Amino acid sequence: MVLNRIWFGMFLIAISLGFYKTFVLGDYTVMKEMIDSLSSSAKVGFELSLYLTGAMCLWLGIMQIGENGGAIRKLTQAVTPLFSRLFPEIPKNHPSIGSMMMNFSANMLGLDNAATPLGLKAMKELQDINPEKDKASNAQIMFLVLNTSGLTIIPISIFALRSGADSPTEVFLPILISTFIASLAGLVFVAIRQRINLFNGVVLSYIGGLSLLIGLMLFYVVKHPSQGEAVSVVVGGGIMFGIIMAFILLAVRKKVNVYESFIEGAKGGFNVAIGIIPYLIAILCAIALFRASGALDGILDAIRWFVLSVGLTVTEWVDALPVAFMKPLSGGGARGAYVEVMSNFGVGSLQERIAATMQGSTETTFYVLAVYFGSVGIKKTRYAVTAGLFADLVGIIAAIIVSYIFFG
């Protein structure tokens, strides 16, 4: 399993570097920092799991109302023509289609807390039709890669972090363009491996419709730049609350007990959250140790030296790379790296704008793979890691180029 090699490699590099700094360089503080990082990351992982439990109970409860009221079935029917071509292994009108659609919608709206429980529910439903329970199916890989490519239409969290900028929403367009490119890259990669025809008329019409929707939103924001943040909050909250109300009203119309339905779904959220604690702590500890050992700083210095040695004078993007390195591993780690870039170079600097675009253009690939696959006992991930990292790489490159076009 690729995650096993990466996890082992991060520990090996971090500990080796720690011994080198201690016994060769005489830095006797690094070992304490590394030990402290393990303890603190384990605590963070457990606390995050407890926080996630509440979010899972909430959103799985709402999803249960949607299922009992028939809303999920209607949503499933609407996207079945597209999903039947991207996920040919999934039976028609299978409940996983509705869960995946809700997960994608939450991700596009920047609602990470809502996306995770919905994604875990979709993964469990896909596992029910997976013939090899310890091996990722084609449908599970396609779902995870589209998930980790991180298509975001409304990056609310980025706007919140940039609240001190003159125009917090100035990175909206670069993020949208970069994340759309990353998502297409992930889709094409998996489609080639699974021999899915993307030139089918139905697939092209759905992708074209999404492109039109994004284009209209971009047009409005460009015409009314001062309203960008308000539009993001209103549209994001309006769509999500609209979905919740539609679920409830349809359920009431069918004389469904919405309260009991919510409780029924929420009970499952607790069990799922408890199950992912070991996987979450494992990946967070590896990341924390890697950072505390100084390995990440060494990688950045090497990249900067290489860029300068080949004659490139544009190096601002190197200072934003900690975000790129951390985002596939940990959303919290990437957020911390972004805040550090913001503190060192200032809000509105080119480095900060590039970092913000990176933050919004990629997803926590290893976190998603570890948690999602771990929740259903998948051990053989096949090419899921490669495909996810490819989409991340394309997203990072796109973020750098687009940022220089807009702000350079």
Instruction: Give, in order, the Cα–Cα distances in Å from 146 to each of 198, 255, 312, 363.
Output: 14, 36, 33, 10
Residue 339: alpha-carbon gap to chain centroid: 18
> What percent of the chain stands above pLDDT 70?
87
Instruction: Give, in order, the Cα–Cα distances in Å from 126 to each of 86, 190, 350.
Output: 14, 17, 42
Which amino acid is residue 37, in one-letter code? Answer: S
Give the per-residue pLDDT at 237.
65
Of residues 183, 184, 174, the one with CA closest to residue 222:
174
Q: What is the mean predicted confidence (pLDDT) over 292-309?
A: 84
Of residues 318, 291, 317, the one with CA closest to residue 302:
318
Tell me the DSSP string of 225-280: GGGHHHHHHHHHHHHHHHHHHHHHHHHHHTT--HHHHHHHHHHHHHHHHHHHHHHH
Between vectors from CA 288 to CA 286 and to CA 291, what angle results, nearest 5°? 110
Q: Lowest-pLDDT range, 70-74, 110-114, 126-130, 377-381?
A: 110-114
What is the signed CA dihedral for 185, 187, 191, 194, rounded to 10 degrees?
110
Give the per-residue pLDDT at 133.
92
Q: What is the mean predicted confidence (pLDDT) over 258-275?
A: 82
Residue 142 has pLDDT above 80, yes or no: yes
DSSP helix/strand/coil, 104: helix
- For 198-203, the CB contacts below 8 A with 24+ separation are 200/85, 202/81, 202/82, 202/85, 203/82, 203/85, 203/86
Residue 60 has pLDDT above 70, yes or no: yes
All structural domains of the chain with their residue ranges? 2-407
Give the per-residue pLDDT at 215.
72
How does the average pLDDT of the chain come out, rounded?
83
Any idea how long the chain is? 408
Residue 205 has pLDDT above 80, yes or no: yes
Give the per-residue pLDDT at 390.
93
Between 239 and 322, the higher pLDDT residue: 322
Report how far residue 250's alpha carbon sits from residue 208's, in angstroms, rounded to the nearest whole number: 30
Give the per-residue pLDDT at 227.
63
Of residues 224, 91, 90, 236, the one with CA closest to residue 159:
236
Max alpha carbon distance in the chain (Å)? 73
Give the per-residue pLDDT at 190.
95
The secondary element (H helix, E strand) that includes residue 185 is: helix 172-194
Rounded-to-5 percentages of helix, strand, coil across the chain: 80, 0, 20
pLDDT tens per residue across span 348-403: 899 999 999 998 887 788 878 888 998 899 988 899 989 999 999 999 998 998 88
Is 0.85 surpassed by the pTM of this model? Answer: no
Between vectors from CA 21 to CA 17 and to CA 27, what angle results, nearest 5°? 145
